[in-house]
Amino acid sequence: MTLDLGFDARELLRKLGGSSIAKFARNKTVFAQGDDADSVYLLLQGRIKVLVLSEQGKEVATGIVAPGQFFGDGCLVGEQTRGATTIAMQDCVVATIPSVRLIETLRAQPDFAELFVRHLLLRNRRIEEDLLDQLFNCSEKRLARLLLRLAEFDQGREPQPIEPHISQETLAEMIGTTRSRVSYFMNKFRKLGLISYDRTIEVHPARLSAVLQDRSERFS
Q: In this model, does residue 220 exceed pLDDT 80? A: no
Q: What is the pLDDT of residues 167-188, one digit of tens each?
A: 898 899 888 899 999 999 999 9
Sheet order of strands, 20-24 included: 20-24, 92-98, 39-45, 70-71
What global pTM score does this model have? 0.76
- Measured torsion, CA atoms of residues 29, 40, 22, 31, in degrees rounded to the nearest 10: -10
- In 7-78, where do the E strands start and end? 20-24, 29-31, 39-45, 48-53, 59-65, 70-71
For residue 93, give the amino acid letter: V
DSSP H helices, 109-220, are: 110-136, 139-150, 168-175, 179-191, 205-213
pLDDT recorded at residue 217: 44
In angstroms, rounded to a whole number, what is the distance separating the alpha carbons of residues 101 and 121?
A: 21
State which of 24-28, 119-123, 171-175, 206-210 shows the largest mean pLDDT: 24-28
Residue 12: how many CB atoms within 10 A of its CB?
A: 21
- CB of 70 closer than 8 Å to CB of 122: no
